[in-house]
Amino acid sequence: MKTIIVTLTLILFSFVMQEMQAQNDSIPSSSKDSISIKSEFLEKQREKILEEEKVELKYKLERIQMRLDNKSITQEEADKLKKEAAEKHALNIENRIAILENKTALDERNGAAYRTSIELLGNGKIVNVSVNYGDEKKRAFDRRTTSDLVLAAGFNNVISDENSLDNSDFKIGGSRFFEIGWAWKTRVFQNTNWMRVKYGVSFQFNGLKPTDNRYFVENGDVTQLEEFEYDLDKSKFRSDNLVFPVHFEFGPSKKTEGADYIRYSTKSQFKIGVGGYAGFNIGERQKLKYTVDGDKKKDKLKGDYNTNDFVYGLSSYVSLGGTALYVKYDLNPLFKDPNIEMRNISFGLRFDID
């Protein structure tokens, strides 16, 4: 059953990836809104050029007037210099605006060559993926949805009816979790990026290392910790989940406007995400290492262990840039009734490679 769930989910995931890519690729750059924003951008750039040249001209005229007041030049020379300065900056304005308009037209006709690159430790990230499009594929005017790789790792433990984290049956430092997945991020509002929805698919691997030389034993419907007959060098129980996280992400972003595009970037910005996840348990395994009469033994035990098939919980992260403090908590008990209610809780770091 679990194998069927995983297979169907991966097939569905591949279709969703293709559909999302097609939607992102088909965003038009010549829509009514994009034409309006391009016009606004050009108008702002013209105003900027005018303001810069006016400030520069004003500064030069003041310097000429100071020389005249100090009698270092005559009135006739001052008038001539002022006229030359005015003509120069008028020509600067004309030429700069022409360059702006020509460059805009050139960019609309041509683009950089298509290039995809994957870098390790590039652009301040662990993994940096960049894609540039040229003539084969026009740049989308507005990318409202983006996607990225998600990695997370840290400490894992359980909270139960009988024990808290202070007197846990599992090693605090030795019990760990790992998560890897793919997430899409969609801007909620049309013209502002302060709120985003982040959603995707992830594999979670939650590990528990029992204390006091114990391991999990399945006796019918009951799964419990029992002492092992030999001294254990290692005792580790792992449950694997396939989940679909959804977070509402809040925080500022930097807006970049060009003649044929707008982009919102959350790079190096404060972000907070609040949400949860739901999915399926896809497997459990237990690893034991011990020594018998000088011989090292290693057992890998697979079984159902009476774990719940469906998993769901709450999660949140706070970050500055691409690294976040991350916490997740399973609302479902790890084991089915009539077992003791144990719920996974994890603390660690999350890396969104966006």
- CA nearest to 222, candidates 307, 332, 282: 307
Give me the pLDDT at residue 264, please: 87
Give me the pLDDT at residue 26, please: 41
Asked if residue 338 and residue 303 are part of one domain, the reply reads: yes
26 within some domain = no
Contact by Cβ (8 Å): 165, 204: no
- 350: Cβ–Cβ under 8 A, 6 or more apart, which residues? 150, 151, 152, 179, 317, 319, 323, 324, 325, 326
Rounded Cα gap, residues 225 and 343, in angstroms: 15
Asked if residue 127 and residue 62 are part of one domain, the reply reads: no
Give me the pLDDT at residue 251, please: 93
Asked if residue 317 and residue 212 are part of one domain, the reply reads: yes
38 within some domain = yes
Asked if residue 238 and residue 264 are part of one domain, the reply reads: yes
Pair of tokens at residue 31: 């829509």
Asked if residue 102 and residue 61 are part of one domain, the reply reads: yes
Alpha helices in the chain (DSSP H): 2-25, 32-69, 75-109
Asked if residue 162 and residue 129 are part of one domain, the reply reads: no
- 285: Cβ–Cβ under 8 A, 6 or more apart, which residues? 237, 238, 300, 301, 302
Cis amide prior to 28 (ω within 30 degrees):
no
DSSP bridge pairs for 314: 276, 329
Asked if residue 115 and residue 194 are part of one domain, the reply reads: no
Q: Which residues of the chain have pLDDT under 50?
A: 21-32, 112-118, 120-121, 124, 126-127, 131, 133-136
- 230: Cβ–Cβ under 8 A, 6 or more apart, which residues? 290, 291, 292, 297
Residue 256, amino acid: T
Residue 353, amino acid: I
Tens digit of each residue's pLDDT (9 = 90 or more) over 30-48: 444 556 666 777 788 888 8
- 208: Cβ–Cβ under 8 A, 6 or more apart, which residues? 156, 157, 158, 170, 175, 236, 237, 238
Rounded Cα gap, residues 255 and 313, in angstroms: 34
Pair of tokens at residue 289: 């290492």
Contact by Cβ (8 Å): 67, 78: yes
Residue 298, burial from CB neighbour count under 10 angstroms (0-12, 13-18, 19+): exposed
Residue 91, amino acid: L
Give me the pLDDT at residue 262, please: 85
20 within some domain = no
Q: Which domain holds residue 177?
A: 141-353
**Can you give the pTM of this predicted structure?**
0.65
Residue 341, burial from CB neighbour count under 10 angstroms (0-12, 13-18, 19+): middle
196 within some domain = yes
Torsion angle, alpha carbons of 21, 25, 31, 35, to 10: 120
Asked if residue 279 and residue 197 are part of one domain, the reply reads: yes
Asked if residue 248 and residue 169 are part of one domain, the reply reads: yes
Give me the pLDDT at residue 135, please: 46
16 within some domain = no
Contact by Cβ (8 Å): 201, 181: yes
Q: How many domains does the chain have?
A: 3
**In the chain, what's the furthest Cα-to-Cα distance?**
110
Asked if residue 195 and residue 162 are part of one domain, the reply reads: yes
Give me the pLDDT at residue 127, please: 47
Final residue before a domain boundary, out of 122, 140, 158:
140
Rounded Cα gap, residues 198 and 182, in angstroms: 10
* Token pair 């262990």 in the structure block, residue: 305
15 within some domain = no
Backbone φ and ψ of 30, nearest 5°:
-120, 25
Asked if residue 223 and residue 121 are part of one domain, the reply reads: no
5 within some domain = no
Give me the pLDDT at residue 1, please: 55
- Give, as one character, the DSSP assignment of residue 26: T
Asked if residue 135 and residue 211 are part of one domain, the reply reads: no
Contact by Cβ (8 Å): 127, 120: yes
206 within some domain = yes
Tens digit of each residue's pLDDT (9 = 90 or more) over 321-352: 779 999 999 999 999 999 999 999 999 999 98
Contact by Cβ (8 Å): 328, 345: yes
